[in-house]
Structures are given as structure tokens and as C-alpha cells.
Amino acid sequence: MKIIVAGLPKTGTTSLSAALNQLGFKVYDYFEHYHVHRDQWMKVFNEGASTEDFRSMYEDVDAVADVPPCYYWEEIYKAFPDSKVILTLRDDEESWFRSYLRQSDKWETSIVSFLRLTSQAARDFRRFTDCTDFAVFAQHKQRWLDCILRRSKILNSLNYKISYRSHNSHVIASVPSDKLLVFNVKQGWKPLCDFLGVEIPTNAFPHKNVGGSEVQDFIDHDPLFKTMKTQTMITVSLLVISFAFVMYFVFDLIS
């Protein structure tokens, strides 16, 4: 492990992950944490973890970004004390929360939110996100029916902003200055490359997940969504077949 991105979601972490990939680093972002280490993270949420647990999870990775690692950055840093830490920030907490809220609404209004009615994979994914929300932002799980009827979560803006403020202050106060880069992705390649000691690429700095576009990217490309759809098709087919058999016997009895 060489780099720990300690910035909270919607601070440019997806863009930074793409930049680090371009620089040749092997990066685990949100979906890698879910696909590769879901079971380990659920254990962290429910039981805790040791320094050795985090070391075994990420010993073959160059960098981690986004949740859950950004919240557990200190524990990961203990496992990899030679790592450098990058704290990504937005211009201010108001713009950060608006961006986070837009992405949350996109997840809740996407088909993924509704597939959990018929897909075990979708329910597992929701459990993971619920545990993450509670760990990072003290956001309690909300009943799925309420979310569907409202088509969005209700987020406590005060709690989120306090979490954002406290998290950033703690990172800045805890990491030695020579190991920390406080970074806004608007700054582009130079401060990042200077910090990492690598050459500056000639291409433009990546600009990813604009307006929560990762939701649609997930729907279009992630194999987990294909699993969700397959499970839903099987569930619906079984329900239709079961209903047809019931109706057949009902009509047979009354005829």
C-alpha cells in the first residue's frame, strides 16, 4: 500500500482514482471494496478488525479510495505506516453536501433501488451501503418501503456536514505534513505528481462521476447489476408460474 485517499465520497475521489490508475497505481475504489472485500468489510462493520486484518486485505494494492476505507483510513495507515495520505476536499461543505445528496437521490430513484424487492444480490448491496452510511455518517437505515414511496432518502444535512468537517480536521491534524496532500481535483496534475514524485502526464486530468454518473455506469457495465437482473427475472418467472398453477387449480375446482 502506497496511497490512502482519505477524502469522503463526492470530493473528487473517482477522478483521483482514475488519475492514479493513469499514473500506474493499482487502485481499489468503491466497487472493488464491495466485489473483492465485501465479507471482510461486513465483519469490520459488525465485529471490528485488527491491524493485521487491514494489512491482509490491501497488501497487494497500491491505493485505496472512497468508502469504507476513507473512514477507516487511520486503521489502514497503521497497517501501512509508509503510505502517503491524500485528503480530497470540495470548495466548501455546502457544495459537497449538495453533490452527495444528488448522488444519493440517483441511487434511490434508480432501478437498483427497486430490484432489491426481487433480487438477493440487490438486497446484499443495500445492506453494505446501509452499514457504510451508518459507520461514516451515523445515517440510520431507512425502511425500503418509505424510500420507495418517497423515491429518496431523507439525509440529515447537519449530521453530514459535521461529519465532513470533523473528518477533514482529524486527518489534517493527525497525518505528518510531509506525508499528507490536501487536494482539490481542480488543481490538476502538478500538486499530485509533485507529492508522489512522478512525472506529470500530458493528457488532461480525469473528471469522473459528474453529477453522480457512476450510478448509470454501474447499471450499464457492472456484472453485479447483471446478476440483479437475472435474479429478478428468475423470481418474477417463478411468481408467474406459481400464480398460473394456483389459478389453474382454482378454475378446476369451481368448474
> Is the alpha carbon torsion for 222, 42, 128, 97 positive or negative?
negative
Q: Please determine, for residue 15, whether its predicted confidence score (pLDDT) is greater than 50.
A: yes
Q: Report which residue type is found at 115.
A: L
pLDDT of residue 17: 98
In whole angstroms, what is the distance from residue 94 CA to residue 92 CA?
6
Alpha carbons 189 and 16: distance in angstroms, whole number:
10
Confidence of residue 151 (pLDDT cuts 50, 70, 90): very low
Q: How confident is the model over 51-88, as pLDDT tens digits? A: 999 999 999 999 999 999 999 999 999 999 999 999 99
Tell me the torsion sign for CA atoms 19, 12, 124, 127: positive
Neighbours of 54 (CB within 10 A): 22
pLDDT at 249 over 80: no
CA distance 97 to 155: 10
Element (H, E) at 233: helix 223-254
Q: How far apart are the C-alpha atoms of 148 and 110, rounded to whole Å?
A: 10
For 31-52, write each residue's pLDDT tens digit: 999 999 999 999 999 999 999 9
Task: Look at residue 148 in the predicted model and tell me its pLDDT.
Answer: 47
Q: How does residue 255 score in pLDDT terms, banded at 50, 70 and 90? A: low
Sign of the Cα pseudo-torsion (86, 88, 91, 94, in order): negative
- Please report the domains of the chain, with CATH numbers, ordered by start residue: 3-254 (3.40.50.300)
Whether 116 shows a pLDDT value over 90: the answer reads no
Predicted local distance difference test score (pLDDT) of residue 123 = 93
